[in-house]
Structure 1
Amino acid sequence: MDPKNFKYSKNHEWIGLWDKNYVVGITHFAQNELGDIIYLDINENIVGTEIEEGNVFGTIEAVKTVSDLFMPVSGKILEINKKLLSNPEFINQNSYDKGWILRIKILDKQEYDLLMSFEEYEKYTN
């Protein structure tokens, strides 16, 4: 998965097309700012539900802080990366590959189109 092909939110989530569905995660910038990630709290009952853009779908805990995870677009949750629930450090190791958090079906393509490109996100974080 190439981060240059993803879209990015101001809340530091990324979204990209992977194997016919979209996946969501936090950016390399975000995981670097958080530091060592020790816990991911996502209710497994969200699978099959729809969550609107901007709403919280879980939290991520690092050694010194806890942060909310926000949906970058409105979507139906198809899957949670359950490997992260027992190995949240995968996000630190590679937030764009084995560190993906959700697989979703986008409900509003216009929301996706309005997100930042890789280049725009790079400027936003510098």
Structure 2
Amino acid sequence: MGSLAERLEVTVVDDTAVSRALIIDALEQIGITRIAQAKDGNQALRDILAKPTHLVISDMNMPGMDGLALLKKLRETPATARIGFILVTGSPDKTLVERGKALQLNNYVAKPFTVDAVRKAIEAVVGRLQ
């Protein structure tokens, strides 16, 4: 059956191609290869509704629909309400984290992040990857 890392389907959402690439690189170093990506919250929502994923790793600050707005939409939709959600933010202040927790945010990663920080954040949500 393979490790959880090999089976896990992750959607990376960030409006900046470089940031998406950094997250995807970290995921690949961890052993996660089933990765979809979206350039904003609206695209991510459409893609995830069409093909649900196990875990969303989303940037906070994006034009249109930010990370918490995407989280709120996913939680309001029965088919996507239980998807794991990790927010990536450059400013993980207390207010933002509390707003996320009110929306059932599973975890967050502060920028700049390390591969190890991403792995720990994911394992806190889904369990051991290897």
Question: TM-score w.r.t. structure 2 length?
Answer: 0.25
- Which has the larger strand fraction? 1
Q: Relative contact order (C-alpha < 8 Å, sep 6+): which is higher?
A: 1
